[in-house]
Amino acid sequence: METVIEGKRLKKTFKISKREKGLFGHLANLFLPKYIHKKAVDDISFTIKKGDAVGFIGANGAGKSTTIKMLSGILSPTEGSVTALGLSPDKDRIEYVAKIGAIFGQKSQLSWDLPIIDSFDLLQKIYRIPDQKYQENLAMFTKILDMKSFIEQPVRQLSLGQRMRADIAAALLHSPELVFFDEPTIGLDVVAKEKIREFIRYMNKELGVTIIFTTHDMQDIEKTCERLIIIDQGKKIYDGTVAGIKTHFGSERKLVVKFEQDYDISEVAKTPSIKIISKKDRSKEFLFKNEDIEVKSLIQYLFENYQVSDLTISEPDIEEIVRDIYDKGI
């Protein structure tokens, strides 16, 4: 499979002015400035293949945004190198941006007072899209993103969900090979989020577009990406499948039992592999690991020793797992 992005030992260090307090400190800063060097990205390497859909996540300040800015050509690495679509994103920026698309949840490339179709026509000229290709893409995106009812309206009259659909179409009119999504579903309702996710899946699976997806909404990742890269304190701490993170780091299961009466469950708590996390009258919640406890035996023990009215077992969702990784590391 063709390589679309290759990052080799990427590092990014920022030079930050160290300001002293008070008037004399201010004067000293003017004549003898002091600086500290903050390492935002520390020796990250990865390869992304054509047609990959990669979730790129990290806590605030982890280095995720800095890495994405290096991949998109906004920043140059202090050390290491990035090659994307056969180009250097920062050095070949004009040629590179013509081959990529970018959607930012809080920003729009559409003109606020113009009808959407006029903004699209303007983008056709900017990207020099041939008329036939432009009309084909416009018709396809209008249909798939259900924009017919509002494509003649100015952006300022659109709902957030409509504007986001128009922004996605605008970013794809020139048929980019690689698209960066940054929080594309932020602030959207459940229905609008699902429409965006469906279209991203379509782009990736049917059109073969390579996707880089950054978000704090882990459902976005689960529903659109197959691979996940996690950055923490400037380092890559996980690079694997979305399903794999559940297998490797989500071994704990939660057992919720509703008893017929408020039993003393101290005997259950004596088992080293079981942890009681909640006791609310007749309802009790336990945590256990699959590899330590045979689920069948645990359920059998509960039914033999207590009157149970309801019982459910659930595995942690990906958001809980990622939060735990942020807190404890790998």
DSSP-assigned letters across all residues of 83-117? EETTB-TTTTHHHHHTTEEEEETT---S-TTSBHH
Tell me the three state secondary structure of residue 178.
strand
- In the chain the domains, ranked by start, together with CATH numbers, are 3-247 (3.40.50.300), 251-314 (3.30.70)
Tokens standing for residue 263? 């039993």
Count Cβ atoms within 10 A of the Cβ of residue 36 and give its class: 0-12 exposed, 13-18 middle, 19 or more buried. Answer: exposed
Give the span between the Cα atoms of 269 and 261, in whole angstroms: 17
Distance CA 219, CA 82 (A): 29
pLDDT for 135 equals: 96
Q: Do 164 and 200 form a contact (C-beta atoms < 8 A)?
A: no
For residue 196, which of 213, 220, 174, 179 has the smallest C-alpha distance? Answer: 220
Which pLDDT score, from 0 to 100, does residue 16 have?
80
Q: 64, 57 in Cβ contact below 8 A?
A: yes
Q: What share of the chain is helix, strand, coil (3-state, %, to 5)?
A: 40, 30, 30
d(Cα 323, Cα 241) in Å, to the nearest integer? Answer: 17
| 180: phi then psi, degrees, rounded to nearest 5 | -100, 125
Q: Which two tokens stand for residue 54?
A: 């990669």
pLDDT for the residue 328: 67
State the DSSP string of 207-274.
S--EEEEE-S-HHHHHHH-SEEEEEETTEEEEEEEHHHHHHHH--EEEEEEEESS----HHHHTSTTE
Low-confidence ranges of the chain (pLDDT < 70): 22-28, 31, 105-106, 250, 328-330
pTM for this predicted structure: 0.80
Query: What is the β-pairing status of strands 235-241 and 53-58?
Result: unpaired
Dist CA 271 CA 295 (whole Å): 13
> Quick one: DSSP state of residue 316?
P
Task: Please say whether the beta carbons of 218 and 12 come within 8 A.
Answer: no
Residue 85: predicted pLDDT: 95
Whether 230 and 240 have beta carbons less than 8 Å apart is answered as no
The alpha carbon dihedral of 163, 113, 106, 208 has a sign of positive
pLDDT for the residue 179: 95
**Is residue 47 classed exposed, middle or buried when 0-12, 13-18 and 19+ CB atoms within 10 A define those classes?**
middle
CB atoms closer than 10 angstroms to residue 305: 12
